[in-house]
């Protein structure tokens, strides 16, 4: 039996106090609506339909063709919103799953339960409900003496007795498609000037049908985003879910409430994440790493046994046993090979540091390629930009760069060469030689030293 998800996302979201459409506000790096779309797709295995209205073109430009769209030009309530999909869906599916683009915490298994219940139910409608002490504006589920659902009454329309009911309508339904469209035409305009989708429950009952109910236990799933306060509440729930999952998988967090992990991040077992650490984007962390405290790693890959503390890593690759910080900054294109050490207040951009290379503190390497076993003294800087273009610096294996050296690119330092402290290197340095001064000049030659060694044998 085919079920098509229909997500309602046409509201103005005025309580967000924002120029941005509500469903595009981000939670853990993704728009709210992406969470709802993902859960609906996974539950139904069908392409969703999104009902848009306010700022529809902005939503469409960001989401693209990953979803089908229908438009609600006049915002006349949820019943009217669903009705806009009739032309697209009539006769094209068996069931319609109605959910919302501003409810990012609803789980796939909840929606699947709703679909499966309706698939096995002889009536035309299955609804989702919950029992809570704080109604938070939800409509009340009204049952008869035998416990059968009779109607849903919106809070604003409820009598004092009905307001005491604590079974609430969650606003999500799975509905038989063949019954839905004619039933929607029976919905009457409310005193507020809207057509309520909730009226379908009473219409089904009046036609002699039973309404099935799936009750949900976790009320946090049903946090809808209407204000920035709701967004913060949803963040805390998703943070707890994510961090709990990783701790159960073998990751240590001493203070999980202070740790942020995006949904696409992968982490190896026995890694320790210290307070104040944020892992963002498609970051991959190996095993037995120690991250933080107060560290940001964004869209980067770290091997096993890496230590990164009080640092920022963006778009970088760290191989095994790399040590960074405190206060390091790895920018896009940085690649630190196995065993590299990068000291405090170092910065690397678009550069490769070979195995075992040590980079002292207060140094900057940009557009550089360093071999293995290189020593980068404190205060070393690659002068890679001439005001118009970036130029490359190449440092071969075993080079020793003295403190406060400036490497004016394009320049190449040969294998096992050395620079004196404070040198300004403007020309290529031959292998094994020593250069010092401003500009740097060769004061000993690797070739001469080799010849003297050969003569002494």
Beta strands in 294-353 (DSSP E): 296-298, 301-302, 307-308, 312-314, 317-318, 323-324, 329-330, 335-336, 341-342, 347-349, 352-353
Task: Flag whether 59 is in a domain.
Answer: yes
Structure confidence at residue 23 as a pLDDT band (50, 70, 90): very high
Residue that wins the pLDDT comparison between 234 and 135: 234
Burial grade of 431 (CB within 10 A; 0-12, 13-18, 19 or more): middle
Identify whether residues 183 and 76 lie together within a single domain: yes
- pLDDT, tens only, 58-111: 999 999 999 999 999 999 999 999 999 999 999 999 999 999 999 999 999 999
Identify whether residues 87 and 160 lie together within a single domain: yes
Task: Flag whether 313 is in a domain.
Answer: yes
Taking CA atoms, 378 is separated from 259, 324, 327, in Å, by 32, 15, 14
| pLDDT number for residue 413 | 98
Identify whether residues 279 and 196 lie together within a single domain: no
Structure confidence at residue 446 as a pLDDT band (50, 70, 90): low
pLDDT at 449 over 90: no
Identify whether residues 192 and 261 lie together within a single domain: no
- pLDDT, tens only, 386-404: 999 999 999 999 999 999 9
Using the 3D structure, point to which of 201, 222, 243 is the last residue of a domain. Answer: 222
Residue 410 preceded by cis peptide, ω within 30: yes
Using the 3D structure, point to which of 205, 222, 239 is the last residue of a domain. Answer: 222
| pLDDT number for residue 452 | 47
Neighbours of 250 (CB within 10 A): 12
Identify whether residues 151 and 196 lie together within a single domain: yes
Question: CB–CB of 32/25 below 8 Å?
Answer: yes
Name the percent of the chain lying above pLDDT 90: 85
CA distance 396 to 382: 15
- Residue 50, strand partner residues: 7, 69
Structure confidence at residue 360 as a pLDDT band (50, 70, 90): confident
Beta strands in 186-306 (DSSP E): 211-216, 252-253, 260-261, 266-267, 272-273, 278-280, 284-285, 290-291, 296-298, 301-302
Query: What is the pLDDT averaged over residues 279-307?
Result: 98
Structure confidence at residue 455 as a pLDDT band (50, 70, 90): very low
Identify whether residues 179 and 102 lie together within a single domain: yes
Residue whose token pair is 């060769």: 442
φ and ψ at residue 227, rounded to 5 degrees: -135, 170
Residue 348 belongs to domain with CATH number: 2.160.10.10
Task: Flag whether 453 is in a domain.
Answer: no
Question: CB–CB of 297/291 below 8 Å?
Answer: yes
Query: What is the pLDDT averaged over residues 169-177?
Result: 95
| pLDDT number for residue 99 | 97
Identify whether residues 288 and 339 lie together within a single domain: yes
| pLDDT number for residue 191 | 86
Identify whether residues 269 and 319 lie together within a single domain: yes
Task: Flag whether 314 is in a domain.
Answer: yes
Neighbours of 388 (CB within 10 A): 5
| Per annotation, catalytic residue among 307, 335, 361, 391 | 361
Residue 334, SS3?
Answer: coil
Residue 215 belongs to domain with CATH number: 3.90.550.10
φ and ψ at residue 175, rounded to 5 degrees: -125, 140
Query: What is the pLDDT averaged over residues 134-160?
Result: 86
Taking CA atoms, 263 is separated from 34, 50, 122, in Å, by 12, 23, 38
Token pair belonging to 343? 């000291």
| pLDDT number for residue 155 | 83
Identify whether residues 403 and 366 lie together within a single domain: yes
Structure confidence at residue 456 as a pLDDT band (50, 70, 90): very low
Q: Is 209 a catalytic residue?
A: no
**Mean model confidence pLDDT for the chain:** 94
Task: Flag whether 91 is in a domain.
Answer: yes
Task: Flag whether 110 is in a domain.
Answer: yes
Q: Which of 39-48, 101-110, 141-150, 284-293 has the lowest mean pLDDT?
A: 141-150
- pLDDT, tens only, 398-426: 999 999 999 999 999 999 999 999 999 99
Task: Flag whether 146 is in a domain.
Answer: yes
Domain that holds residue 424: 251-446
Identify whether residues 104 and 37 lie together within a single domain: yes
| pLDDT number for residue 453 | 45
Identify whether residues 427 and 317 lie together within a single domain: yes
Identify whether residues 280 and 217 lie together within a single domain: no
CA distance 328 to 324: 6
Query: What is the pLDDT averaged over residues 441-455?
Result: 61
Alpha helices of 98-227 — where are they, by DSSP H? 108-119, 160-163, 177-184, 199-206
Question: Total domain count for the chain?
Answer: 2
φ and ψ at residue 31, rounded to 5 degrees: -60, 145
Task: Flag whether 238 is in a domain.
Answer: no
Q: Give 339's contacts (C-beta < 8 A, 6+ positions apart).
A: 320, 321, 322, 355, 356
| pLDDT number for residue 421 | 96
């Amino acid at each position: 039996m085919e079920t098509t998800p229909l997500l309602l996302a046409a509201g103005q979201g005025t309580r967000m106090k924002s120029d941005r459409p509500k469903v595009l506000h981000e939670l853990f790096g993704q728009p709210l609506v992406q969470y709802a779309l993902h859960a609906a797709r996974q539950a139904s295995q069908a392409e969703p339909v999104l009902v848009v209205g306010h700022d529809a073109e902005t939503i469409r430009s960001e989401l693209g063709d990953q979803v089908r769209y229908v438009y609600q030009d006049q915002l006349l309530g949820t019943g009217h919103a669903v009705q806009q999909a009739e032309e697209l869906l009539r006769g094209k599916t068996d069931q319609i799953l109605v959910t919302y683009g501003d409810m990012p915490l609803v789980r796939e298994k909840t929606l699947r339960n709703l679909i499966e219940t309706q698939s096995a139910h002889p009536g035309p409608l299955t609804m989702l409900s919950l029992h809570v002490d704080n109604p938070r504006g939800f409509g009340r589920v009204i049952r008869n003496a035998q416990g059968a659902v009779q109607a849903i009454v919106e809070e604003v329309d409820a009598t004092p007795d009905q307001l005491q009911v604590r079974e609430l309508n969650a606003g999500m339904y799975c509905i038989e498609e063949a019954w839905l469209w004619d039933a929607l035409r029976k919905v009457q305009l409310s005193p507020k000037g809207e057509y309520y989708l909730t009226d379908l429950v009473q219409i089904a009952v009046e036609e002699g049908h039973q309404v099935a109910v799936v009750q949900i236990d976790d009320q946090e799933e049903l946090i809808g985003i209407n204000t920035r306060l709701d967004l913060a509440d949803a963040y805390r729930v998703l943070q707890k879910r994510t961090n709990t999952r990783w701790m159960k998988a073998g990751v240590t967090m001493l203070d999980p409430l202070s740790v942020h992990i995006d949904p696409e991040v992968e982490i190896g077992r026995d890694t320790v994440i210290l307070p104040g650490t944020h892992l963002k984007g498609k970051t991959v962390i190996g095993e037995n790493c120690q991250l933080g405290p107060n560290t940001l790693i964004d869209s980067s890959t770290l091997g096993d046994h890496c230590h990164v503390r009080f640092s920022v890593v963006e778009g970088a690759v760290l191989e095994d046993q790399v040590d960074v910080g405190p206060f390091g900054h790895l920018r896009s294109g940085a690649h630190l090979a196995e065993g590299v050490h990068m000291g405090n207040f170092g910065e690397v951009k678009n550069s490769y540091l070979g195995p075992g290379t040590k980079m002292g503190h207060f140094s900057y390497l940009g557009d550089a390629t360093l071999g293995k076993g290189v020593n980068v003294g404190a205060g070393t800087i690659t002068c890679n930009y001439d005001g118009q273009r970036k130029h490359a610096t190449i440092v071969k294996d075993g080079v020793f760069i003295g403190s406060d050296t400036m490497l004016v690119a394009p320049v190449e330092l040969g294998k096992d060469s050395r620079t004196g402290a404070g040198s300004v290197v403007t020309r290529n340095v031959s292998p094994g030689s020593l250069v010092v001064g401003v500009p740097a000049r060769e004061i000993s030659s690797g070739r001469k030293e080799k010849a003297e060694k050969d003569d002494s044998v």
